[in-house]
């Protein structure tokens, strides 16, 4: 009942169902794409008991709830009636940076829970194996290991779906494209081509023998390309045959272009990005984690941390470890948690102390928005302290060559 009441109040203050195009949630925030931001009563929203703060960035109006966000979201679904009619975005009002950030966030936010769960399972397996509590040659370990690895290998298929939602393509056709890149026959052809030096050809055109398991950029570029092909085909084909002719022609165009052009190009860009980061690591390994450790709170406020997360995932896919997002964000999270826990320890205000303890624990475990918007940003000094602590922690990790595996 509590969440239903909160959901109704939120709905009222964002302008009602008629003002909502789409809405979703991430780990701590409700994310709305609204028709008219002027109809929002931000002051009233911030005064709600369970609302920590509000942010309007990247074309989204975001309400920071904290760890209970999924319950508020489910309650909100009962009252929001969003039309299925596709409403054109007011892209002209967005800067290029906002468009990029909105796209990156829209693609990566939905898969974060799966990444977090699989990553934590890998961490637990690593610890129990290190302590000798499990036989790494046994089937139990091997099965748990491939369970934790599955999302990383099939990452193109997950990204295909989230990218399809963002770019407005058919999600199942998009997943099919992701499956094509990972098909066992194709991967076997790649392995054979690499061993023998033979060529792979499609219509007489060369197909670069690239393994797309765990890749990030190729599938995103492919679905972006598909977002132009599919509606064009839909307009050209007769209406009576559209149900089968549109997907047929779209697949026939997009899949070959992905294998011959976009896939290799995306791989080249991903390799170049990862190579540039490794080069920087070789010559100034302390720099990236120190900068990220210092400025992660500001990146979170602007949504730019999702760009870093995508770079980190790309590094994990290419090299098996990440020195970009993981180390710097780790110490920044802990520093923010430490800052709000210090406020809780020093404060005589019971409500502030309670908020500091709950948000501090959440921040240390990796979810910093409640701490950032609830205490650090309003009181400023804890934010400055967290940035200094995060920067020094990042500097230490950089000097010691710490990475996320």
Residue positions annotated with a catalytic role: 26
Residue 97: CA count within 13 A, CB half-sphere: 6
**Quick one: CA dihedral 93, 96, 97, 98, positive or negative?**
positive
> Cβ-count burial of 202 within 10 angstroms (0-12 exposed, 13-18 middle, 19+ buried)?
exposed
> Cβ-count burial of 241 within 10 angstroms (0-12 exposed, 13-18 middle, 19+ buried)?
exposed
Whether 118 and 148 have beta carbons less than 8 Å apart is answered as yes
Strand partners, 34: 20
Q: Within 237-319, where are the H helices? A: 242-257, 263-284, 287-302, 305-319
What is the CA 83 to chain-centroid distance, rounded? 26
Q: Which two tokens stand for residue 272?
A: 């170049």
- Comparing CA positions, the residue from 168, 172, 338 lying closest to residue 251 is 172
The interaxial angle of helices 171-182 and 217-236, nearest 10 deg, is 130
Helix (H) or strand (E) holding 57: strand 53-57
Q: Within 52-170, where are the H helices? A: 69-79, 96-108, 112-130, 139-153, 155-167
Q: Which residues contact 265 (CB under 8 A, 6 or more apart)?
A: 218, 221
CA–CA dist 377, 46 (Å, integer): 14
CA–CA dist 315, 72 (Å, integer): 35
| Residue 304 DSSP symbol | T
- Comparing CA positions, the residue from 116, 148, 318, 302 lying closest to residue 217 is 318
Ramachandran sector of residue 214 (left: φ over 0; alpha: ψ -120 to 50; beta: rest): left
């Amino acid at each position: 009942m509590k969440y239903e009441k909160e959901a109704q109040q939120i709905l009222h203050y964002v302008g009602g169902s008629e003002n909502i195009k789409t809405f979703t949630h991430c780990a701590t925030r409700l994310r709305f794409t609204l028709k008219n931001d002027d109809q929002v009563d931000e002051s009233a929203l911030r005064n709600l008991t369970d609302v920590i703060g509000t942010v309007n960035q990247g074309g989204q109006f975001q309400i920071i709830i904290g760890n209970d966000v999924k319950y508020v979201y489910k309650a909100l679904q009962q009252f929001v009636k969003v039309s299925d009619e596709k409403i054109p975005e007011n892209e002209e009002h967005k800067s290029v940076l906002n468009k990029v950030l909105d796209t990156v966030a829209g693609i990566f936010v939905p898969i974060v829970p799966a990444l977090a769960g699989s990553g934590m399972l890998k961490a637990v397996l690593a610890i129990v194996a290190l302590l000798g509590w499990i036989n790494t040659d046994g089937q139990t370990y091997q099965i748990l290991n491939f369970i934790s690895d599955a999302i990383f290998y099939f990452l193109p298929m997950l990204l295909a779906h989230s990218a399809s939602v963002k770019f407005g393509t058919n999600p199942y056709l998009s997943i099919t494209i992701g499956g094509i890149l990972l098909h066992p026959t194709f991967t076997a052809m790649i392995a054979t081509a690499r061993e023998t030096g033979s060529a792979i050809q499609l219509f007489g055109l060369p197909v670069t023998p690239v393994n797309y398991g765990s890749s990030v950029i190729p599938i995103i570029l492919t679905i972006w390309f598909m977002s132009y092909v599919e509606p064009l085909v839909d307009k050209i084909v007769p209406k009576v045959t559209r149900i089968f002719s549109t997907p047929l022609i779209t697949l026939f165009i997009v899949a070959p272009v992905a294998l011959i052009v976009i896939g290799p190009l995306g791989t080249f860009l991903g390799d170049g990005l990862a190579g540039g980061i490794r080069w920087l690591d070789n010559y100034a390994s302390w720099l990236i984690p120190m900068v990220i450790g210092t400025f992660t709170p500001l990146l979170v406020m602007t949504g730019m941390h999702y760009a870093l997360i995508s770079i980190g995932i790309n590094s994990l896919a290419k090299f098996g470890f990440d020195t970009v997002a993981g180390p710097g964000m780790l110490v920044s999270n802990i520093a923010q948690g430490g800052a709000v826990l210090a406020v809780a320890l020093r404060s005589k205000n019971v409500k502030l102390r309670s908020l500091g303890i709950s948000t501090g624990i959440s921040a240390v475990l990796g979810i910093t928005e409640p701490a950032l918007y609830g205490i650090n940003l309003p009181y400023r000094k804890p934010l400055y302290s967290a940035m200094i602590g995060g920067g020094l922690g990042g500097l230490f990790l950089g000097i010691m060559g710490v990475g996320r595996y």
